[in-house]
Structure 1
């Protein structure tokens, strides 16, 4: 079995110019982090999850199952790291953690949760499997502030033909908008109805990636994706991360998130504990 990386790959870390780009635009794309050998193992273990082969014996959340669920739909599995050591290695990768720490100017990064994603190819049927325009923070109201970032790991090459993510630059500066719908299929109408700030424009940037690259976006950055028009599935994992300053907000709406229960109602306290593994911690005296 392939062993996931245990050490930080310094060649993949963002430069000060890269951090400044993220500050301005709300997203950044890394070099290749995962090797072909690692990706082959990752995809193998992704397929095991869909067959309900849980290495640890613990089920993930909202898992798509082979022979049960619609083969034409977008597959979204939450917290696959509970169920499989290889997928946990992706979700807790130290290079991803340090990149997130640098981009967020944070001295600690913890895992919030992961989403294992599979967008079927056209051979599976006619459904579009779009991902609607959304801000991740709209679904994370159990956090008091948007001190979170997502690392989206490409297991396959992605471009517009197979439904790559598209980012809206600077949208992380617009605050939380009332527009998020991950499952919306009519993304053109969704965009037309969006109430964005005056003097701003809704422009999109396709995030074209090689397998093994990782894109990062702020929790308020608007993003979505179109259909997969190729014959092969688009595979990925969204690794949702938070800084060490992220505090729990107890509320009826916030507590709808499946991870909120691990805080046991400790309103205003920092997220901590084994449910939220540490990916990165700055060395003593290291400035952010």
Structure 2
């Protein structure tokens, strides 16, 4: 996979009807953005990250390490784009940025951060590697408004058998709920305990995708995933993005997020600078 900046693939961009679907439901799935050749290179670089082979010499945040960490657990690596040019190409892909811009009605899209994800296949041990029901914005309280969106890139085919993501339609309209835990393994009990608005229903939609496709969900959309019951790993990257109007909110809770370190003393100002590269900027955008 080339590390040169790609051009926007107009075929992948959402139509007006697709944008209306996202506005109504809080999620949307794109056609394939990455080819199989690109995906092979991406998966190779993902494995190098787990062996602490950092092309740039800079380590990511909270990286799972081969020979050190639990092989049955969900692997979550924050900011792999710091460590590898190919993975940075995924996290800053201009087609992903252009799609996010349309869905969020924004003229600028910046990278918030990436999460490299690996859900192991079935094997010995009791770990399920579920991802609990959560809203991304519950972890991003250093942003004043939920003007953020996640692009989830499938590096392998995903369906219910290997723990694909499941979305709760319309939940982005429910506000920020208290019951949100990415690491919760008892997702059925979590669902039963969730305090949702009256007259709403917690219904789930499995996001079945081919490798190379990208799903998008609003920062308030409730989502999670079940176990991988296949022999092969489920591989992906969550590319967390924000509009160009996203502002820093200095607070005790908000400052727990690692992105707050780049904005200390700038309460109320827009997230900008090298830590948050631009994926998409419409003509005339700042």
TM, length-normalised to structure 1: 0.97
Question: Corresponding residue for 1:19?
Answer: 19
Hey, what's the Cα distance between the residues in 1 that align with 2:258 and 2:267?
Answer: 16
What's the offset of the Cα at 1:5? 5.6
Hey, what's the Cα distance between the residues in 2 that align with 1:152 and 1:162?
Answer: 15
User: Aligned Cα RMSD in Å?
Assistant: 1.1
Q: 1:29, 1:215 within 8 Å by CA — same for their partners in 2?
A: yes
Aligned pairs for 1:137-152 (under 5 A) are: 137-152=137-152
Question: Corresponding residue for 1:50?
Answer: 50
Question: Corresponding residue for 1:158?
Answer: 158
Hey, what's the Cα distance between the residues in 2 that align with 1:239 and 1:54?
Answer: 19
Question: Corresponding residue for 2:62?
Answer: 62
Hey, what's the Cα distance between the residues in 2 that align with 1:2 and 1:109?
Answer: 22
Q: 2:137, 2:219 within 8 Å by CA — same for their partners in 1?
A: yes
Hey, what's the Cα distance between the residues in 1 that align with 2:6 and 2:124?
Answer: 37
User: Does residue 209 of the first structure (1) align with residue 234 of the second (2)?
Assistant: no
Number of residues of Structure 1 aligned to a counterpart in Structure 2: 285
Deviations 1:230-268 (A, max 9, x none): 000000000000000000000010000011100122100
User: Does residue 188 of the first structure (1) align with residue 188 of the second (2)?
Assistant: yes
Aligned pairs for 1:1-288 (under 5 A) are: 2-3=2-3, 6-123=6-123, 125-284=125-284
Q: 1:154, 1:212 within 8 Å by CA — same for their partners in 2?
A: yes
Hey, what's the Cα distance between the residues in 2 that align with 1:60 and 1:3?
Answer: 19
Q: 1:3, 1:38 within 8 Å by CA — same for their partners in 2?
A: no
Gaps of 5+ in 2: none
Gaps of 5+ in 1: none
Hey, what's the Cα distance between the residues in 2 that align with 1:209 and 1:62?
Answer: 27
Q: 1:2, 1:41 within 8 Å by CA — same for their partners in 2?
A: no
Shift >3 Å, 4+ stretches: 1-5
Hey, what's the Cα distance between the residues in 2 that align with 1:246 and 1:284?
Answer: 18
Q: 1:4, 1:86 within 8 Å by CA — same for their partners in 2?
A: no
